[in-house]
A and B are shown apart, each in its own frame.
Chain A
Amino acid sequence: EAQVTQNPRYLITVTGKKLTVTCSQNMNHEYMSWYRQDPGLGLRQIYYSMNVEVTDKGDVPEGYKVSRKEKRNFPLILESPSPNQTSLYFCASKDVNTEAFFGQGTRLTVV
């Protein structure tokens, strides 16, 4: 089954404690992207990747890092999380002629 898998689905953490949200797709898609969704702000793009070892900043990259060492995985790293990074995060992948496929989301709370 074609899918995008994010882990964890829910996470409560403390300020400053490094965390990684994983994203994996099994469709051999070239393009992957991370979004955060906050009330009234829609989905804002954090980082995206056009291919292995090719990543670029989206609209709200501050406080985040990503890597794309292999095609299927695109982890989102928060080196020192802060409360303003409390949000609902989505990973998505797509290819040239496909729609975007989304993960189920990761609800992160930073206290």
Chain B
Amino acid sequence: SQQGEEDPQALSIQEGENATMNCSYKTSINNLQWYRQNSGRGLVHLILIRSNEREKHSGRLRVTLDTSKKSSSLLITASRAADTASYFCATPLSGGSYIPTFGRGTSLIVHP
């Protein structure tokens, strides 16, 4: 079943502001991934964080993982209109499978 749930469902900000999205999951994981989806297109991988990592950076993206709270956050700094998309966290199926499952996503709109 779906493991991760993103929060908020929708986020609307102005260009230049930071955007923070959260993900909560149910069972222990060995890694968590964040994906981006432009309207109606396939998902594109952004970043993977392993269970023994607390924070990871990639360009303007910063991901944190708190395994004690079973939660992760994705921060996009200095957002741009081109960041407008839906963002999903993905966690492995329970039982140690490598097959990712996804939440409902956060829809981010960045106004120019």
Contacts and interface: CB of A to CB of B under 8 A. Distances in A.
B33 interface: yes
Nearest to A94: B98
Interface bracket on A: 20 to 34
B45 A42 contact: no
Binding site of B, secondary structure by majority: helix, strand, loop or mixed?
Answer: loop
Contact of A42 (B2, B40, B97): B2
A8 B44 CA distance: 20
Contacts of B33: 99-100
B60 interface: no
B44 A102 contact: yes
Contacts of A100: 33, 35, 43, 45, 90, 100
B104 interface: yes
Given A35-B102, A50-B97, A94-B100, A42 B88 contact: yes
Interface of B: 1-2, 33, 35, 40-45, 48, 88, 90, 93, 97-105
Interface of A: 4, 31, 33, 35, 40-45, 48, 50, 58-59, 88, 90, 92, 94-96, 99-105, 107
27 contacts: A31-B99, A33-B100, A35-B102, A42-B88, A42-B102, A42-B104, A43-B88, A45-B93, A45-B101, A48-B97, A58-B101, A59-B1, A59-B101, A88-B40, A90-B43, A92-B100, A94-B100, A95-B98, A99-B45, A99-B48, A100-B100, A102-B43, A104-B41, A105-B40, A105-B41, A105-B42, A107-B40
